[in-house]
Amino acid sequence: MATQTQETQDVQAHGDGHGHHERLQHHFISLDQQFSSAKLGMWLFLVTELLLFSGMFVAYAVYMQWYPEAFAVASEALDWKMGFANTIVLLASSLTVALSIHFIQKGNTKAMITSLSATLGLAVVFLIVKYFEYTDKFSHGIYPGEAFNPTGSYAYLDVPNAVQYFSIYYVMTGIHAVHVIVGMLVFAWLIYRALRHHFSPEWYTPVELGGLYWHFVDLVWIFLFPLLYLL
């Protein structure tokens, strides 16, 4: 909390942060205010992400209710083991992110960098598994939309409206994968900054926000996995 004297100084100096933490921006009074603002902003951003994905879930619900048989047949084509493995990978990465925040709060930059790197690694693993899933499907002619033409061991998928299932599958997992890639860029950037000792127990806002974002990516997958792979 800033005292009156500090506040006046701040105003007089036109907010160059005189007498304050170097990370305090001029229009905030305290680091607390700045941190909780950033966090509320992040939560609101996650709300927008939620609504973005909700469109896909609506499409899924509608077509699932119209064509349950086609969806039942189509979802069998997805290998639940791959989905399960990826679920574990993402859950583990969520744990490492939560740990990295735990470590920086205790001032342990080294451990934070380790667990951020682990998160990055797990994200790579997730995408590799996804890559194998996609290429397997593509090689059998399972494309989203018009090009959908299942062959070989997947020929049984040639039923009406299976194409809707796979369109939804590709769009949902595709958008999700884009989010994973963005998350990887975020973590690379966080690691870079951590290596330069930008973070401290007093100020680690980017790590906190990156963590929130990554947990959200995990949350989406928690719902995608049973809906797409198991039902």
Question: Is residue 131 part of the contact set for other proteins (CB under 8 A)?
Answer: no
One-letter amino acid at 209 equals: L
Question: Is residue 134 part of the contact set for other proteins (CB under 8 A)?
Answer: no
Question: Is residue 51 part of the contact set for other proteins (CB under 8 A)?
Answer: yes
Measure the CA–CA gap between 144 and 171, rounded to whole angstroms.
8
Question: Judged by CB under 8 A, which of 17, 19, 57, 79 binds other proteins?
Answer: 57
- Residues that contact other proteins, how many (by CB under 8 A): 88
Site for other proteins in 17-46 (CB under 8 A): 26-27, 29-33, 35-37, 39-41, 43-46
Checking phi first, is residue 33 left (phi over 0); if not, alpha (psi -120 to 50) or beta? alpha
Q: Least CB distance from residue 204 to other proteins, whole Å? A: 9
Question: Is residue 87 part of the contact set for other proteins (CB under 8 A)?
Answer: yes
DSSP for 33-66, written as a single string? HHHHHHHHHHHHHHHHHHHHHHHHHHHHHHHHHH
Closer residue to other proteins (CB): 120 or 162:
162
Question: Judged by CB under 8 A, which of 167, 177, 188, 198 binds other proteins?
Answer: 167
Mask of contacts with other proteins, 94-123, x by CB under 8 A? Answer: xx-xxx-xx--xx-----------------
Phi and psi of 75, rounded to 5°?
-70, -20
Question: Is residue 196 part of the contact set for other proteins (CB under 8 A)?
Answer: no
